[in-house]
Structure 1
Amino acid sequence: MRYILCCIDNKNFSQASCDYAVKISNTMNLPLKFLSIIEHHHKAYKLNLSGNISLGEKDEILYELTSEEENESKEAIKNAKELLGKLKQRAQENCKNKIETLLIHGEVVENILELQNEIEVLVIGIRTNVEHAIGQNVKEIIRSIHKPVLLVNSEYIEPKNLLVAYNGSNESIKLLLETSSNPIFKEVKRDIVNLNTDSSKSIALLEEAKNIYEKNQIEVSTHTIKSENPKDLIEYFETNNFDILAMGAFGHSRFKELIFGSFTTKILSNIKKPILLFR
């Protein structure tokens, strides 16, 4: 059975991610599952490994490393279980559907991809600003999973205004088809924006996007931004006080991204409210 998956940790807007996941679960009438993944990338902080190590010291060092890693793992498991319990209790206050928790050991990306066929929408808490670069795990998840992903980077706000950035790419078409046939957020005002220096091309793209929504009796407004700079999209988003930005993700090849940079990454690194992505 499909469900809403909320991937959480102790660092990145876990409570806000919980609240958005509950909102989506209620809207789509699907079960909610909270997931915590414990990665084992142990670093030895206490041991001084510089210089030569005598034969007699090797066993002692190995014991200390093993003990340190074991204690670290126990602490991580304890914290993860406590967080899962708190979020489940928080979700039960408003969620109308079944709620489950799942604790997994291993790699974040691999484990989420293994669950891909069961996921309807993935919710992840992140920190996105100049001081905190987007984690590689988050980028790889967005690149790999073919489901809507809501990245939560601020405290919860009841969504009222949704801005959809549409450029006619396969990713943005999939996003429109997915969110119009089975809306992730209902009873919100939707605006579609296109960044384009060619006005006539922009009008055609916006009409195409508008028709997709109208087939499902969803009203939208449209607007052209005469630019191709992601900063102008963010400025329009902030000036008009939208609550969530929706867009297709990573439409270029990795080679092009190395040369020109990624539009998606630039948006992720600078936007201060949640973003809904579809790859």
Structure 2
Amino acid sequence: MTLLACIDGSTYTPSVRDHAIWAAQRLGVGIDFLHVIDKRPEPAPVAEPAGDVLDARTSLLRELATIDARRSQVAHEHGRLVLAEARAVAEAAGVAPLECRLRHGHLVETVEEFEDRSALIVIGKRGEHADFAKLHLGSNLERVVRATTTPLLVAARAFRPIRQAVIAFDGGASSRKAVELASGGKLLAGVRTHLVCAGGETAELRAHLNWAATLLEAREVEHVIEQVDGHPDQVIAEYVRRNEIDLLMMGAWGHGRVREFMVGATTTSMIRTCLIPVLLVR
């Protein structure tokens, strides 16, 4: 197994690289750095002109083809530089083995190609054309979340050491997997775990919290469990801020919710508003 890090040369690239290095060192695996040059859609067919118009159109198409060829060459050169820089930093950190993959195509399809060999996928919250002021998520992120079942680490804008993690817990299958991941693997060994549940107490929820507490205690994980009234995205965001949390863990889909077209309302809001990395599990 290895770790797949998706880098595009955007502002988030150093953070994706550093989060990938951190995770690879903890898991004891190598990194596949992936840079995908998006395919451009084929132009729609048009009616064939005649005479002088045809000559002018032919000349224009030749000029456009030259521009496209140069643009493609520049994109390749840029991609090679982005990958080379990431590799150099990872090598200096002692991570091995390392692979740099430059592909033409669509990111989601390429990620799916490598998913079976990846213990973790790392991607930035936003890409090179992001609107930082509005905190919009990158469209590639949303597509990858919908397509993959591998744990996905969504990097924040800058990396910082991860000492405390919070699990947004609702008792569903994905949030239980988050508890198992936090308590049973190398990735978060030694990280203080906060388990926070938003909403009113019920017998069912109490049973879920008891299950989580029993597992965390059995595996000797330093932990805190809190139940707070309020809407999940508001409660968790405030908890993250107040307790200086370094990592948010949550399911890609909430418990009992119909799978939504995008990532899911609560999940999307949490990724957007919490200015820390988010580890999504299914």
TM more than 0.5:
yes
List gaps (5 residues or longer) in structure 2.
Answer: 44-51
The 1:60/1:250 distance shift into structure 2, 3 A limit, reads farther
Aligned to 2:258: 253
Aligned to 2:231: 228
Aligned to 2:145: 142
Aligned to 1:269: 272
Aligned to 2:36: 37
* SS of aligned partner of 1:134: coil
* SS of aligned partner of 1:72: helix
Whether contact under 8 Å (1:165, 1:245) holds in the other structure is yes
Distance in 2 of aligned mates of 1:15 and 1:210: 36
1:190 is aligned to 2:193: yes
Aligned to 1:104: 103
- Letter matched to residue 74 of structure 1: Q
* SS of aligned partner of 1:79: helix
Distance in 1 of aligned mates of 2:109 and 2:102: 14
The offset of 1:231, in angstroms, is 1.8
The 1:3/1:181 distance shift into structure 2, 3 A limit, reads same
Whether contact under 8 Å (1:172, 1:247) holds in the other structure is yes
Aligned to 1:240: 243
Which runs of structure 2 are paired with 1:1-279 in the superposition (5 Å)?
2-41=1-40, 54-127=53-126, 131-198=134-201, 201-251=204-254, 252-254=257-259, 262-279=265-282
Distance in 2 of aligned mates of 1:151 and 1:16: 10
Whether contact under 8 Å (1:153, 1:273) holds in the other structure is yes
* SS of aligned partner of 1:154: coil
Whether contact under 8 Å (1:142, 1:278) holds in the other structure is no
Distance in 2 of aligned mates of 1:119 and 1:6: 10
The 1:201/1:226 distance shift into structure 2, 3 A limit, reads farther
* SS of aligned partner of 1:227: coil
The 1:130/1:264 distance shift into structure 2, 3 A limit, reads farther
- Letter matched to residue 111 of structure 2: I
* SS of aligned partner of 2:9: coil
Aligned to 1:50: none
- Normalised to the residue count of structure 2, the TM-score between the two structures is 0.87
* SS of aligned partner of 2:178: helix
